[in-house]
Amino acid sequence: MEAGMKIAVVGGGAMGSLFAARLAVAGFATTLVEVDAGRLEHICKAGVVVDLAGRCIVAPVPCVQPADLERGQELLILFTKFAGLSAALAQSRHALAPEGVVAVLSNGLGIAGQLEGLIPENRLVLGVSDVAADLRVDGVHSDGTGLVKLGMANPADDPAPLARVQSVLETAGFSAHAMPDIRQAIWEKLAFNAAFNAVATLADARVCDLDNVPGRRIVAAILAEVGSVARAGQVPFDHAAVSARIEQAFLRQGEHRPSMAQDRRAGRRTEIGAINGAIAARGEEWGVPVPINRTLTDLVCLTGG
């Protein structure tokens, strides 16, 4: 991968900041794009500060508003919330090079449909990540573990853009895997997020706070419901693999506060509609009972959205 390749990371939260810092340290010409004035000002003053498994990284990553993003970006990586994806790409795509690639590492189902007309499908890479990152007062904290799974939005398209994104992330030290069909990974990540996020938001909990009999009972029930919905939609789904990933989270990421719970603490709207709400909607559409995910979605909406 060529040195100095221009990459813009759109979304300056915990995950976007973590990826931007590691890309910059790896030698890529990285810019962080942020619309929140307070967050933008903080990054411009302090840089991106990351505690990566006890190793401090201070990356002087430029941080700009979308309109000020320099043209010629060869890769845009979107880390914005699901509801804001189309707006984020619409505001940033002026800076994308003619053959530039867009990679989306956000939660939710139907991302390709949301971005239709904004980027040719053969230059759109979708991905999921179970890398954990927490945004704290002193910067971003991450244990450095986790996988990034990537696939073309349309599995039938030429995988060259996929290979390019994979190479970039591996150069930055991430464990990145190319998938022939990303749908299974998207649903399994959705199940993992659903298992933890809504309950953690309602209980203001970390992962370790759910590692008990009632917490595990709720997590298991959510996962079983997601599996039933996936099977009804004829989506490949490996229940055992997701269960194993949940056990790893209990073992290694106990201090992590799930992203939706972080949003609630910060006074931001959650992504409940794109996670448990999306599962509930698919279940109701496909005739699968989803009382747990529907109730959790309603409770999060009832307590602040």
pLDDT on residue 3: 61
Can you say whether the dihedral through the CA atoms of 134, 213, 235, 248 is positive or negative?
A: positive
What span, in angstroms and rounded, lies between the C-alpha atoms of 4 and 50?
21
Same domain, 249 and 167: no
Same domain, 164 and 197: no
pLDDT on residue 146: 86
| DSSP symbols for 150-190 | EEESSTTS-SHHHHHHHHHHHHTT-EEEE-S-THHHHHHHH
Same domain, 165 and 244: no
- How many structural domains does the chain have? 2
Q: Is residue 1 part of a domain?
A: no
pLDDT on residue 221: 97
Find the domain containing 205 and state its range: 184-302
SS3 assignment, position 29? strand
Full-prediction pTM beyond 0.95? no
Same domain, 266 and 216: yes
* Closest by Cα among 120, 175, 171 to 150: 175
Q: Is residue 17 part of a domain?
A: yes
pLDDT on residue 108: 86
pLDDT on residue 99: 95
Burial of 276 (C-beta count, 10 Å sphere; 0-12/13-18/19+): buried
Residues 118-154 as b/e (b if ≥16 CB within 10 A, e otherwise) read: bbeeebbbbbbbbbbbbbeeebbbbbbebebbbbbbe
What span, in angstroms and rounded, lies between the C-alpha atoms of 303 and 305?
6
The domain boundary residue, chosen from 138, 164, 181 = 181
| DSSP symbols for 218-256 | HHHHHHHHHHHHHHHTT----HHHHHHHHHHHHHH-TTP
Which residues of the chain fall short of a pLDDT of 50? Answer: 1
Same domain, 218 and 263: yes
Domain CATH number, residue 281: 1.10.1040.10
